[in-house]
Amino acid sequence: MQLPAAVRELLLLEIYQQANDLDWEFLSNGEKTAQYRKWIEDPKVGGVLLAYGPEKDARVWIKDVPMKEYGRSQEGIGHYVRYAVNRFRGPEEIIHAACGEGWSVAPESVGEKPNHCYATNGEVNRYVCWGRTGTFRDLIWAALNEAIGARQRPAIVVTTRDGETIPTVERLRQIEVADHCGVSIAHLHRTMIQNPDYAGASLEG
């Protein structure tokens, strides 16, 4: 959809504010589908989008533009970070959990599918990927692929957030699998912070 920049900005802020209020990541697939319908019916969202195209295009835009990037934005990654009301502290927090102090994120190394980057201590680089427990298989596979020919043992970080826990049996199984595969593993509970780069701050105040 061809949207004026100002209109696009306001839509992104509105949708991300509502997603934040809904705890989008905790919604079931059915609840998310219902919310897409509500957004189409919402004068602040669908009411605006329908002025620029048909309903099917409006629905696709919501799914493929703001919501496709929502999870990455909460990680502090991507072009839409400034629209997330709250977010995690970013890859540096992951690196410290996986490698300890003295390591930092190597420049231009952050990527996705799964979220990953290279940690550096100034001498060597180390692959680190992270995600929630439901992505554990993807994390292991990504780390195994990186392990081939790597000088440093790759690491994965399984993350939880407030309101989320991993059963002890599942956590121990993840540790066993990672150890068998020659991959380091850490479990990190993260708390979201107010986004210091939030674009809506100037509008609020």
Q: Are 185 and 156 in contact (CB under 8 A)?
A: yes
At 119 the three-state DSSP class reads: strand
- Domain covering 91-193 in this structure, CATH number: 3.40.1350
* Confidence (pLDDT) at 205: 47
- Counting beta carbons within 10 angstroms of the beta carbon of residue 75, is it exposed (0 to 12), middle (13 to 18) or buried (19 or more)? buried
Domain extents for the chain?
5-87, 91-193
Q: Are 98 and 128 in contact (CB under 8 A)?
A: yes
- Percent of the chain past pLDDT 90, that is, above it, reads 85
At 17 the three-state DSSP class reads: helix
The tens digit of pLDDT for each residue in 5-28 reads 999 999 999 999 999 999 999 999
pTM here is 0.84
